[in-house]
Each structure stands twice: as structure tokens, then as C-alpha cells.
């Protein structure tokens, strides 16, 4: 894999900024609450390039950027979550796959997000916050989509004072970042709801630059509410009162949350955005990722029909097999060309940010906590599975929901028996009202984990928060004792570039983290006993 340098990203950003500044003008007397579709288009040349830059960098897409996706997403959350197993061989052999975390890998997500999400957001704020607040609201939602992933990798970030003019920004605690997320989402949702009420047929942003919902304001509100619900559950163990407040506000909002396939947040391709799915490139051209062993255990054990939507059978024997993370691979061909399942993905497959099944499972967990989620835990759990089957184009959800006997299967590595392992989980599929609360939670999170594929970053965060599903630990642990094999990796270290360029703020960052700056220190919300 080959990465572009940070300097090349900064140069690209500077060029885009000049282009954007050169285009368009606005009327200072425009009332945004009475804007027409034509008026919404006036700022496109000035704002659209920044907005589209943000959209394509929540998950990094674009020709030549597949290796960047690989080290920020695939060789982090995708493998840490158990979704996928690495089939590559890298130098040095001690790397993220076996907890020998590499700085040039773990630096990337931080630097990329601040250059390609935060910086264009700051420009959009400058141009739109007063004149076209609905455009600023959309940019803020996208900023939070991108940056909650980053804080969930590292913990504290220089977030709330970014764009204030300082060259070296101080860090905020993760708690303060999350409280800012909730305030920002609340404001953005109010702005968009007001705009939608006054202009029900107008688009918040031109379809030419909105690759998610083509400017559909109501869809953005539903997505923002669903994101708010996600973040609320994330803090449920560290601040349950705030979690309940935010979750109920999201679900009870007049626009509601995602419920049907058409609500899914998908990065759609267009004449302005052409890309191949990075996982296709990583799997089929780099030949460095396959199905994960934990996915193998759960999907094969459950006889889950979605396995064919996610992975391909080995053509030699028709079986689905995964690769365990953290094994010793010295000959790439043994696993890259071995009897393991490739990802069922094509160059044309779009990148998904969030699908509606997740919102049902979030509500199911909230209901389990006693919150007002417009349904019982069982109703919402079963609705989540049905939504996932529908999203995958699968039938048979009712039979699956009635399966009370299947459990995760043992994992067998056909190449090296030492990598094989007994199944870690025993949870079944069918809802059992007499089960303990913890068993009900494991059932909900396990199905949520299956449905959220292939977003390994989100799956890794939820595993850290809930301890579910039960993910096979690495076989080789090169962390030098900083990461417990059984507990598994909890975060990425702060970037070495920050120690170099923002050194005066790094002692504060570590203090706010509340532990040593390594992969074994838990984040603020990671507080389940």
C-alpha cells in the first residue's frame, strides 16, 4: 500500500479553497427562511467543493486513496472488530494486526480528518453560518459523523477551538467533545427543521454537491437524529442520565429516526463523485483482507443467510472461512490465495455510513434500559433483524427470528490448526423474555454487530463499550504488555505528528486521557465493568 503525504493533502485543500473563494456571491438581505431552490444554488461554487470534500473523507474514497482507507479503517476498526482478517505481509512484521501499533498507520486517521473534514467545515462556517444556516447545519452534521469516529479512536482531541485562529490548538476531553456533539446536533436539527417547515419542497443544499441525500432536508434530519441516538448509547455506561435525555430527544423528534431502507446514509456516486469501493481494491487488488474469523463463527454457526451478501464462498469447496486477526503470516500467498472467503463487494458498491437496522437495535437497547423508545426491546430487536434482511435483499427473516437453537460455531483455520479456537459465544437468535438483562443485551448487540457490517470502526466501538459480541483475541500480541490480549485493543495512540508539531499541548492531552498514551488505555465512555 502507498500513502499520499500530508503535505499533498494540504496542497490539495489550498487549491480547493482558492477555487471556492473565487466562485459565487450572496445577497446580504436574503432571508434564509424564505429561500427558494434557485437561491439555494447561488452559493454552490463557494461552498459545494468544501462540502463534497467533507463527504468523501468521512470514509476516505477516491482514486489513489485506497491505501489511506486501508490504514485508517481496514487495518484498525475492520480487523479489531472481528469483521475481517488481514491476509497481507508488511514490513515491519510487528504492526496493527498483532498490536505492534505503527505510528505511520495510527497517525493517519487523525491528520486526515483534521485536514479533510475539520478544515473544510471551518470554511463553510465562515461563508454560510449567517446567510445560509441550513448549509452550515448540514456541514456540522457531517463534521460530527467524521469526528466522532476519530475521538472514538484516540479519545481527547483539539476539537472545540479548532478554527479559532490559533496555530496550535489545546485538547478537549472526550466528555467535552461528546457534550459539544449533542449541542451541535441539537442546533443543526432545529435549523433544518425550521428550514423544512418553511420550505418543504426546497433542498438544503444542491444535489450536485450532496452525495448522500441530494439535498433532501427531511432525510438529513432523520439521519442526524439517528446519529444522536448512536452517540447517546455510546455514553450510556458513563453518563446514563444524559444518554437517556439525548436518546429520547432523538426518537421523540417529529421527524424521527431511520426506519426504512430509503433512509440509509449512502455515499452515492455521480458525475461529480466517481470512486471504486476501497474494500474492493484492498481485497482483490492488494489481496490483503478476507473474511474475519469471528464473522465465520457467528454467521456459519447461525446459518445466517446474510453471509452470502457479505462474503464469497471458497470456489474449491463451497465453504465460507475467515482469517483470525493477529496470527503469524510469513508467506502472503498462503492466506491471500488460500481457502478463505473474499468480500462480496464490487467496484460499484457504494460506501454506507449508516443503515436503518442500527437505529432499531439502538432503540432496542434503549428500551432495555427503560427509556421511551416507541417499542419494547423485543419488538425493536426483531424489527432490526427484519430491517437488516431487507437492506441486504434477503428473505427468511421470520424463520431466522424463530431459531432458538443455533449458536456460534467453533473456528477452524485450514492452514494452521494452532489458530483454530472453540466458539466464544453461546447466545442464540430467538428473543427470550425470561433471559437476564445481560443476555438480552448480548443478543441485541450481536445482531447489531452483524447488521452494521462492513463498518468495522463502529463495530469496534460498540465491542469496546458493551464487550459484545465475543471476538477472538489475537494469537500474537506485540504490544510489549501495554495491551491485554483478553481485553483487546482499546484505542490508538496520539499521532507522533502532534508530539512534534503541538508538543506544548500533549501533556494536557494525556492528562485528559486519564492514562498512558498507548493502545491499552480505555476511553472516557469505555466504563462497563
Residue 293 lies in a domain: no
Instruction: Answer positive or negative: Cα dihedral of 333, 338, 344, 346.
Output: positive
What nine digits make up the cell of 163? 478554527
Q: Are strands 351-354 and 289-291 parallel, antiparallel or unpaired?
A: unpaired
The span from the CA of 362 to the CA of 230, in Å, is 7
Per-residue pLDDT averaged across 100-127, rounded? 97
436-493, pLDDT tens digit by residue?
Answer: 999 999 999 999 999 999 999 999 999 999 999 999 999 999 999 999 999 999 999 9
The span from the CA of 169 to the CA of 93, in Å, is 35
How far does the chain reach from its first CA to its final CA, in angstroms? 39
Per-residue model confidence (pLDDT) at position 165: 77
Say what percent of the chain tops pLDDT 70.
92
The span from the CA of 98 to the CA of 485, in Å, is 10
More confident residue, 429 or 32: 429
308: number of Cβ within 10 Å? 14
Per-residue model confidence (pLDDT) at position 511: 98
Per-residue model confidence (pLDDT) at position 63: 93
Task: For 371-407, give the DSSP string.
Answer: ---SS-HHHHHHHHHHHHHHHTT---HHHHHT--S--
Per-residue pLDDT averaged across 381-389, rounded? 98
Per-residue model confidence (pLDDT) at position 1: 59
Q: At 18, is the pLDDT very low, low, confident or very high (cuts 50, 70, 90)?
A: very low
364-382, pLDDT tens digit by residue?
Answer: 999 999 999 999 999 999 9
Looking at residue 218, the DSSP 8-state letter turns out to be: H
Question: How far apart, in Å, are the Cα atoms of 518 and each of 65, 136, 480, 490, 515?
Answer: 27, 36, 11, 9, 8
Residue 285 lies in a domain: no
271-311, pLDDT tens digit by residue?
Answer: 999 999 999 999 999 999 999 999 999 999 999 999 999 99
The span from the CA of 20 to the CA of 51, in Å, is 11
* pLDDT surpassing 70 at residue 527: yes
Task: For 458-476, give the DSSP string.
Answer: HHHHHHHHH--S-PPPPS-
Per-residue pLDDT averaged across 159-163, rounded? 94
The mean pLDDT value of the chain amounts to 92
| Alpha-helical runs (H) found in 212-271 | 217-234, 240-252
Q: How far is CA 1 from the centre of its chain?
A: 22
310-348, pLDDT tens digit by residue?
Answer: 999 999 999 999 999 999 999 999 999 999 999 999 999
Cβ atoms 506, 470 nearer than 8 A: no
* pLDDT surpassing 60 at residue 40: no
- Residue 501: name the closest of 74, 168, 106 by CA: 168
Question: How far apart, in Å, are the Cα atoms of 292 and each of 102, 150, 317, 377?
Answer: 21, 23, 18, 29
User: How many residues are present in the chain?
Assistant: 529
Helix (H, G, I), strand (E, B) or coil at 146: helix
Burial class (CB in 10 A: 0-12, 13-18, 19+), 429: buried
Beta strand extents in 261-372 (DSSP E only): 265-267, 289-291, 351-354
Element of type H or E holding 353:
strand 351-354
Per-residue model confidence (pLDDT) at position 46: 79
Rounded to 5°, angle at Cα 475 from 409 and 281: 80
Q: At 39, is the pLDDT very low, low, confident or very high (cuts 50, 70, 90)?
A: very low
Task: For 33-69, give the DSSP string.
Answer: GG--HHHHTTTIIIIIHHHHHHHHHHTT-STT-HHHH
61-88, pLDDT tens digit by residue?
Answer: 999 999 999 999 999 999 999 999 999 9
Q: Provide the residue range defining the domain that includes 171.
A: 6-26+44-280+347-513
Helix (H, G, I), strand (E, B) or coil at 31: coil
Residue 443 lies in a domain: yes
* pLDDT surpassing 80 at residue 30: no
Cβ atoms 465, 458 nearer than 8 A: no
Residue 527 lies in a domain: no
Residue 37 lies in a domain: no
Residue 442 lies in a domain: yes
Per-residue model confidence (pLDDT) at position 42: 53
Residue 329 lies in a domain: no
Q: Residue 102 sits in a domain of what CATH number? A: 1.25.40.390
Q: At 19, is the pLDDT very low, low, confident or very high (cuts 50, 70, 90)?
A: very low
217-264, pLDDT tens digit by residue?
Answer: 999 999 999 999 999 999 999 999 999 999 999 999 999 999 999 999
Half-sphere exposure of 339 (CA within 13 A, CB side): 10
The span from the CA of 417 to the CA of 482, in Å, is 27
Residue 338 lies in a domain: no
Tally of domains in the chain: 1
Per-residue model confidence (pLDDT) at position 166: 76
Amino acid at each position: 500500500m502507498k500513502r499520499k503525504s500530508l503535505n499533498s493533502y494540504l496542497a490539495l485543500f489550498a487549491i480547493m479553497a482558492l477555487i471556492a473563494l473565487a466562485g459565487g456571491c450572496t445577497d446580504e438581505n436574503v432571508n434564509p427562511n424564505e429561500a427558494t431552490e434557485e437561491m439555494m444554488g447561488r452559493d454552490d461554487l463557494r461552498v459545494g467543493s468544501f462540502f463534497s470534500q467533507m463527504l468523501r473523507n468521512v470514509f476516505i474514497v477516491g482514486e489513489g486513496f485506497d491505501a489511506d482507507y486501508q490504514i485508517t479503517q481496514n487495518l484498525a476498526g475492520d480487523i479489531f472488530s472481528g469483521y475481517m482478517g488481514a491476509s497481507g505481509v508488511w514490513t515491519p512484521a510487528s504492526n496493527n494486526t498483532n498490536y505492534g501499533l505503527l505510528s505511520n498507520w495510527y497517525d493517519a486517521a487523525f491528520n486526515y480528518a483534521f485536514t479533510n473534514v475539520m478544515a473544510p467545515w471551518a470554511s463553510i462556517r465562515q461563508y454560510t453560518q449567517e446567510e445560509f444556516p441550513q448549509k452550515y447545519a448540514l456541514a456540522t452534521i457531517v463534521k460530527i459523523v467524521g469526528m466522532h469516529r476519530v475521538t472514538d479512536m484516540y479519545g481527547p482531541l483539539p476539537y472545540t477551538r479548532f478554527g479559532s485562529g490559533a496555530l496550535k490548538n489545546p485538547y478537549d476531553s472526550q466528555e467535552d467533545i461528546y457534550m459539544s456533539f449533542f449541542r451541535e446536533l441539537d442546533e443543526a436539527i432545529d435549523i433544518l427543521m425550521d428550514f423544512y417547515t418553511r420550505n418543504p419542497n426546497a433542498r438544503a443544499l444542491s444535489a450536485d454537491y450532496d452525495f448522500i441525500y441530494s439535498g433532501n432536508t427531511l432525510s438529513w434530519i432523520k439521519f442526524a437524529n439517528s446519529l444522536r441516538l448512536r452517540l447517546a448509547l455510546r455514553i450510556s455506561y458513563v453518563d446514563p442520565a444524559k444518554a437517556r435525555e439525548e436518546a429520547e430527544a432523538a426518537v421523540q423528534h417529529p421527524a424521527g429516526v431511520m426506519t426504512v431502507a430509503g433512509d440509509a446514509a449512502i455515499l452515492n456516486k455521480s458525475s461529480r463523485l466517481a470512486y471504486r469501493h476501497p474494500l474492493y481494491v484492498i481485497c482483490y487488488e492488494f489481496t490483503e483482507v478476507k473474511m474475519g474469523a469471528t464473522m465465520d463463527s457467528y454467521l456459519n454457526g447461525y446459518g445466517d443467510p446474510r453471509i452470502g451478501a457479505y462474503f464469497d464462498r471458497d470456489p474449491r469447496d463451497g465453504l465460507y472461512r475467515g482469517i483470525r486477526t493477529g496470527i503469524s503470516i510469513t508467506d502472503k500467498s498462503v492466506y491471500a490465495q488460500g481457502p478463505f472467503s473474499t468480500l462480496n463487494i464490487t467496484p460499484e458498491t457504494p460506501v454506507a455510513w449508516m443503515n436503518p437496522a442500527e437505529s432499531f437495535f439502538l432503540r432496542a437497547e434503549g428500551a432495555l434500559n427503560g427509556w421511551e423508545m416507541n417499542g419494547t426491546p423485543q419488538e425493536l430487536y426483531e424489527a432490526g433483524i427484519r430491517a437488516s434482511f431487507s437492506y441486504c435483499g434477503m428473505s427468511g427473516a421470520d424463520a431466522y427470528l424463530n431459531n432458538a437453537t443455533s449458536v456460534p460455531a467453533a473456528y477452524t483455520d485450514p492452514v494452521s490448526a494452532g489458530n483454530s479456537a472453540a466458539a466464544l459465544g453461546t447466545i442464540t437468535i430467538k428473543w427470550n423474555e425470561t433471559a437476564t438483562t445481560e443476555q438480552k443485551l448480548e443478543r441485541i448487540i450481536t445482531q447489531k454487530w452483524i447488521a452494521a457490517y462492513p463498518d468495522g470502526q463502529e463495530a469496534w466501538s460498540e465491542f469496546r463499550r458493551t464487550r459484545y459480541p465475543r471476538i477472538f483475541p489475537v494469537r500474537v500480541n506485540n504490544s510489549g504488555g501495554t495491551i491485554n490480549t483478553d481485553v483487546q485493543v482499546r484505542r490508538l495512540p496520539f499521532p507522533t505528528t502532534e508530539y512534534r508539531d503541538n508538543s506544548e499541548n500533549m501533556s494536557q492531552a494525556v492528562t485528559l486521557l486519564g492514562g498512558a498514551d498507548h493502545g491499552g488505555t480505555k476511553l472516557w465512555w469505555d466504563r462497563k465493568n
